[in-house]
Amino acid sequence: MVEIKSEAALAAMREAGRVVANALAAVQEAAAVGVALRELDEVARAVLGKAGARSPFLGYRPSFAPTPFPAVICASVNDAVVHGIPDGYRLRDGDLVSIDCGAELDGWTGDAAVSFVVGTAAPADLELIGTARRALEAGIAAAVVGGRIGDISHAVGTVARAARCGMPADMGGHGIGRRMHEEPDVPNSGRRGRGYPLRPGLVLAIEPMLMAGGRNAYVVDPDGWTLRSADGSRAAHVEHTVAITEEGPRILTLP
């Protein structure tokens, strides 16, 4: 069932989204050569705790997962696409890092992700991140009243394919509101004019996941969570929570 949100609900989701944005900013600022991924998780926990928010990631266990997720952020490095578990790995110069974070505040949820390079950045990594951001921007621009989910999917996929990037075929965005994952699904590739209609009050998490090697195949680590590009190529993941409104798309996960 798809829930259409009221203006009051959108305002509440904006506050949850602000917490997410602040957590991501704090994590990115703390990320440096020698810092452990587990330490970045602690940074995000502190931001959520100060805001009185809880993490929808911590303890989350979908049907595919062998164990509940043990952290408040996903920290995916280099060839890891999404769902990386923050552990004792210490960041190295040139690592490409993707951080995904969510927050639940007063019963409403926000979800966003950023990708960045620690230390000296390879031009190819910067281009990959830039492509992911352009794909996200294109998807957001297509999130308008009167359109359909397929318009968003087509916009994201067009940017990614033009750059010859691969995308995990069965991974994508989702509805969001009282829970982190709600209907409808938002694929990262699709046909314009198809799928669920975009109505005022619909809120979506739009999240391009790009792999530099151009293949769509991925493998799952023994932890049952971390997805990696099958060819070992670098990956980038960016995301915003976006509301469909009569005035145009409204990004809810900004500072």
- Mean pLDDT along residues 186-198: 97
The rounded distance, in Å, linking the Cα atoms of 193 and 56 is 32
Q: What is residue 88's DSSP assignment? A: S
Q: Give which of 235, 250, 219 is closest to 132, Cα–Cα.
A: 235
Q: Tell me: pLDDT of 129 over 90.
A: yes
CA dihedral 175, 180, 133, 136 (to 10 degrees): 0
Residue 169 — pLDDT band, cuts 50, 70, 90? confident
- pTM, rounded to two decimals: 0.97
Q: What is the number of alpha carbons within 13 Å of residue 138 lying toward its C-beta?
A: 21
| Predicted confidence (pLDDT) per residue in 57-102, tens digit | 999 999 999 999 999 999 999 999 999 999 999 999 999 999 999 9
End-to-end, the C-alpha distance of the chain in Å comes to 30
Q: How large a percentage of the chain has pLDDT more than 70?
A: 100
Q: Calculate the average pLDDT of the chain.
A: 98
